[in-house]
Amino acid sequence: MSQSTKTPSIIILLAFLILLMAFGAFMFIQSRGDTDKLSEEELILDGYTPPTGPPPTDEEWEMFFSDDSQLNTERSKLDESEVEDSNLQSQLVRLVAEIEAIISTEATTVEQCKLVAMGHAPCGGPGYYLPYAVTGADEANLLDLASRHRDLSQTQNAQSGLMGICVITPVPELVIVDGQCVFDVN
């Protein structure tokens, strides 16, 4: 075997090892459970919600497998300056900070709790969900910020060529714990 045929194999092996280490680091962050101590950038990475609740309905399946190009043109509310900015990650971090500043999870009944879809999975659909209480939120502003976050996330995925394993992020169930809307982990 010549030196020129060994080089691509070594590069592929190194790339695989780097991806494996990144996945291990991601899983470690997921398993920690102390998201209060994570930085804003780690919250973006730590935003995945583990599968809980009932399986998706037929309507949800249809939504996830619909034509993303149509969704992109209907939902695209991005300013040209946002798309042209090369640092999409910092814009995503800022949007998450804005959302966290206006979101409230304080509620007295589970009927006051809702979910907002955040991010954009590489294969389509939301990347994760955040709970919020309709009683303490400027819902229109929250949904607008979440839509901008979704659009920027989709743009970032496309620009970086990010690919996923095409797993649908299930819609979690919500419960009230100590007066807060939280995900039902049972």
Kindly list the domain boundaries of the chain, sorted by start residue.
1-32, 38-183
- As a residue count, the chain comes to 186
For the chain, what is the mean pLDDT?
74
pTM over cut 0.75: no
Say how far apart CA 165 and CA 175 lie, in whole Å: 29
Closest CA to 147 of 159, 135, 155, 136: 155
Residue 11 amino acid letter: I
More reliable by pLDDT, 50 or 63? 63
3-state secondary structure of 115: strand
Residue 146 reports pLDDT greater than 90: yes
More reliable by pLDDT, 61 or 178? 178
